[in-house]
Amino acid sequence: MIFEYFSEKKYDRLVKGFVNNETPYNFIEEIGIGAYGVAYLLEDAASDKKYVLKRLKTKHRHKKKIRQKFDREIKILKETGLHHVPAIISHGKIQDIPFYIMDYIEGKTFEQAIFAEGKRFPLERSLQITKELLSIIKEFHKKGIVHRDLRIPNILLKGNTLYIIDFGLASYINEEIKYDKIINPKRTENHISDLYFIGHFLLFLLYSNYTPTIKKEKSWQEELQLPSAVVDYIERLLLIRPAFSSAEEAFNQIPEI
């Protein structure tokens, strides 16, 4: 464990030296550590525009499957080509550790908005945001890509525009998956995964506007007191009721309040 920690910190210094000496960017700081990667904030020396460098953790350098996932993340990000996704600027290796540099989105994640800033999202606004999110996700699906990690830390709001980040778990859609064979909807390689996460995302938005009146915990259906059409809609996203056949169908059937 000590070796792994030292190895990562040593590699941080290598990244800093590489950025400052071999790229047009200045190294600013480390901004995130995940299960598989580390992210750093960079700044263009001429324009002051900010970027993110993400690299694989050194302890995974000899793990073939994880390296393949990292390579797939780069490939998928390059293929999305959508305004709502950070664009990849370049990619390569630093002493055999793969990395890529992408645009930095200076927005707030919904995790920050809800839990750090205490922002509230009423029902109408929550449904509007969910519809905007679905409009992005259905474009992903048209390109054969499923994100599989649409949690509140991975969805940003910049002004009135949504952005999706962290494609570490993204995959290509497997059209042969049968609904009745799905065991873990979060990890399934089709639209069900993204819609399932969107159901939970919508509940986070709605709970931001909820104040408990009693200590006894109830189901979200009881606590939130939503219109029946909204309850039915969320239950379809969460597979409590029959699933939507696509993100397109979920987009078209979102309740109007």
Whether residues 143 and 231 fall in one domain: yes
Domain-embedded: residue 248: yes
Q: Are residues 21 and 135 in the same domain?
A: no
C-alpha to C-alpha distance for 95 and 148, rounded to whole angstroms: 30
What CATH number is associated with residue 173? 1.10.510.10
Instruction: Please indicate, yes or no, whether residues 141 and 232 belong to a single structural domain of this protein.
Output: yes
Residue 257 covered by a domain:
no
What is the C-alpha separation between 39 and 154, in angstroms, rounded? 14
Statement to judge: residues 126 and 205 lie in one domain = yes
What is the pTM for the complete model shown?
Answer: 0.92
Segments forming the whole domain that contains residue 206: 108-252
From the CB of residue 140, how many other CB atoms can be counted at a distance below 10 Å? 25
**For position 6, what pLDDT does the model report?**
53
Q: Indicate the DSSP class of residue 202.
A: H
CA gap 8, 4 in Å, rounded? 6
Indicate the Cα dihedral angle 230, 133, 238, 74, nearest 10°.
180
Q: Does residue 131 belong to any structural domain of this protein?
A: yes
Q: Of 80, 103, 126, which marks where a domain is finished?
A: 103
187-210 residue pLDDT tens? 999 999 999 999 999 999 999 999
Tell me, yes or no, whether 202 and 143 share the same domain: yes
Same domain, 50 and 142: no
Residue 54 pLDDT:
97
Do residues 118 and 96 both lie within one domain? Answer: no
On whether both 98 and 72 belong to a single domain, the answer is yes
Residues 136 and 169 in one domain: yes
What would the mean pLDDT of 147-158 be, rounded to a whole number? Answer: 97
Catalytically active residues are 149
Of the residues 67, 82, 103, which one is the last residue of a structural domain?
Answer: 103
Is the domain of 180 the same as that of 85?
A: no
Which of 103, 126, 153 lies at the terminal end of a domain, its last residue? 103
Alpha helices in the chain (DSSP H): 2-22, 64-80, 110-111, 123-142, 191-207, 220-224, 228-237, 247-252
Determine the Cα–Cα distance for residues 84 and 69; give it in Å rounded to an integer: 22
CATH code: domain of residue 76: 3.30.200.20
| Number of domains present in the structure of the chain | 2
Binding-site annotation: residue ranges: 54
Whole-number average pLDDT of the chain: 94
Question: Which position has the token pair 């979200």?
Answer: 220
Examine the pLDDT at 46 and tell me if it is beyond 70: yes
Give the residue numbers of the binding site for ATP.
54
Q: What is the DSSP letter of 35?
A: S
pLDDT for residue 1 is more than 70: no
